Amino acid sequence: MQKRKLGNSGLEVSAIGLGCMGLSFGYGPAVDRQVGIELIRAAVERGVTFFDTAEVYGPFTNEELVGEALAPVRDQVVIATKFGFDHDTEGSPQRGLNSQPANIKRVAEASLKRLRTDVIDLFYQHRVDPEVPIEEVAGAVKDLIGEGKVRHFGLSEPGVGTIRRAHAVQPVAAVQSEYSLWWREPEQEVLPTLEEFGIGFVPFSPLGKGFLTGAISESTTFDSNDFRNSVPRFSPEARKANQALVDLLGTIAASRKVTPAQIALAWLLAQKPWIVPIPGTTKLHRLEENIGAADIELTLDDLQKIEGALASVTVEGARYPEHLQKLVGR
Domain boundaries, the chain: 3-209+272-295
Strand ranges (DSSP E) for 115-241?
A: 120-125, 150-156, 172-178, 200-204
Residues 67, 24: Cα–Cα separation, whole Å:
13
Q: 288: Cβ–Cβ under 8 A, 6 or more apart, which residues?
A: 46
Residues 323, 302: Cα–Cα separation, whole Å:
38
Residues 138, 124: Cα–Cα separation, whole Å:
10
Residues 81, 123: Cα–Cα separation, whole Å:
5
Spot the catalytic one: 57, 124, 179, 320: 57
Q: 135: Cβ–Cβ under 8 A, 6 or more apart, which residues?
A: 165, 166, 168, 169
CA angle 79, 211, 224 (to 5 degrees): 85
Which of 58-67, 153-162, 247-256 shows the lowest mean pLDDT across its residues?
Answer: 247-256
Average pLDDT over residues 210-227: 95
- CA-based nearest residue to 16, from 194, 266, 257: 266
Average pLDDT over residues 199-224: 96
- CA-based nearest residue to 127, from 328, 319, 322: 328
Q: What is the DSSP letter of 325?
A: H
Per-residue model confidence (pLDDT) at position 88: 61
Determine if residue 41 is left, alpha or beta; phi over 0 gives left, psi from -120 to 50 gives alpha, anything else beta: alpha
Percent of the chain with pLDDT over 70: 98
- Reply yes or no on whether the pLDDT at 90 is more than 80: no
Which of helix, strand or coil describes residue 7? strand
Quick: pLDDT tens for 8-32: 999 999 999 999 999 999 999 999 9
What's the chain's average pLDDT? 95
Q: What is the pTM of this model?
A: 0.96
Average pLDDT over residues 199-216: 97
Per-residue model confidence (pLDDT) at position 323: 86
In this structure, which topology does domain 3-209+272-295 adopt according to CATH?
TIM Barrel (3.20.20)
pLDDT category at 89 given cuts 50, 70, 90 is very low
Quick: pLDDT tens for 154-170: 999 999 999 999 999 99
Residue 57 falls in the annotated catalytic set: yes
| Other Cβ atoms closer than 10 A to 283 | 11
Which of 158-162, 208-212, 252-256, 324-328 shows the lowest mean pLDDT across its residues?
Answer: 324-328
Per-residue model confidence (pLDDT) at position 330: 78
Quick: pLDDT tens for 280-323: 999 999 999 999 999 999 999 999 989 998 898 899 999 999 88
- Reply yes or no on whether the pLDDT at 329 is more than 90: no
163: Cα separation from own chain's centroid: 17
Which of helix, strand or coil describes residue 209? helix
Average pLDDT over residues 180-192: 97
